[in-house]
Structure 1
Amino acid sequence: MINLEDEKSKYIFTMKLDIRWSDMDELRHVNNAVYLTYFEQARVYYFQEACQWNWKEIGVILASAHVDYLRPVVFPNPTYVYVRTSKIGTKSFEISYLITSIVNGIEELTTTGHTTMVLYDYESNKSVSIPDFLRERIRAYETVEI
């Protein structure tokens, strides 16, 4: 059993998600395919806040994604996504996510996930090493050892 408060304490970055009516399916909850869009949206804002990412200089591509659906997200419950870098390698890093919703006044964990991101040079069509300055910015932003 995941202790939500313990998990949230590992995350500096959080943002409110605006659930759109079109995000839901005929079962009246957010469709499973939309969660990766939520991850992407939050990841972009996280990168801007954590390391002032310059997209024109250093490209990044999604190498893999994993989502665990624990509870449905439904409109109009207030919903939040928490984002952090959980691992940094030579050419890739892992971003972890929590999605929570406020249900009857209580914050509940609805979704966990992670994506592996690879730095990429679009001119040479090759992955590239993570520059030291970027690694340092991410580590300085996070509160847990990565």
Structure 2
Amino acid sequence: MKKYNVEDVLSSFSFSVPIQVRFSDIDSYMHVNNGIFFNYFEHARASYLFEFCGWDILKTGTVVANVQIDYRQPIHVMDKPTVYVKCIKIGKSSFILEQVVMGPTESGEVKIFAESETTMVAVDMDTMKPVPVPAEYAAKMLGESSKKA
């Protein structure tokens, strides 16, 4: 998984989703619980597929095959995180998304909070078996500097 810096994220990701840190996200250590990061990444992935790609999950679904997360900085309640998403590789039925949670802290300093790499698999919604990544979605993901496997 690539380690990004703030400038890399701003210059190489074309899709992002702001995240509202909720009080219920905060654990007894007074920062966002590590498990909540999965929710942030999931929300951003779903938004990317629906908003950016126009993915119709009623025709072709997606399932998560693998998730890796590197935690770099805790998120606190007054921080303003945004999740950035891009596709880095497309195979026959799978594709890999890179995601970065980044944003200003309460003091205004922009920090990278976490990075994730997720392998997704396109599936037939009736059989839940892998199917090729639909060409119209692959074209949109590839159009943002992705590379075909």
Question: TM-score, length-normalised on structure 2?
Answer: 0.90
Q: Which residue of 1 aligns with 2:117?
A: 114
Residue of structure 2 equivalent to 1:12: 14
Unaligned runs of 5+ in 1: none
Report the Cα offset of residue 41 of structure 1: 0.5
C-alpha displacement of 1:125: 3.1
Which aligned segments of 4 or more residues in structure 1 are displaced greater than 6 angstroms?
none
**Contact 2:32/2:75 (CA < 8 Å) preserved in 1?**
yes
Q: Distance in 2 between matches of 1:119 and 1:2?
A: 27
Q: TM-score, normalised by structure 1?
A: 0.92
Aligned 8 A contact 1:73 1:101 in 2:
no
* Aligned mate of 1:129, from 99, 121, 132: 132
Quick check: 2:5–2:112 contact (8 Å CA) kept in 1?
A: no
> How many angstroms apart in 2 are the aligned matches of 1:137 and 1:90?
15
Quote the offset at 1:2 in angstroms: 4.1
The corresponding residue for 1:96 is 98
Equivalent-residue separation in structure 2 for 1:89 and 1:23 (angstroms)? 35
Contact 2:104 2:110 in 1 (8 A): yes
Q: CA deviation at 1:145?
A: 3.6
Alpha-carbon separation, structure 1, partners of 2:58 and 2:135: 18
Q: 1:2 to 1:55 in 2, by over 3 A?
A: closer
Task: Please report how far the alpha carbon of residue 3 of structure 1 lies from its aligned counterpart in structure 2 after TM superposition.
Answer: 2.7
Unaligned runs of 5+ in 2: none
Aligned 8 A contact 1:83 1:95 in 2: yes
Kindly tell me the number of residue pairs found equivalent between the two proteins. 144
Cα contact 1:120–1:127 (8 A) shared by 2: yes
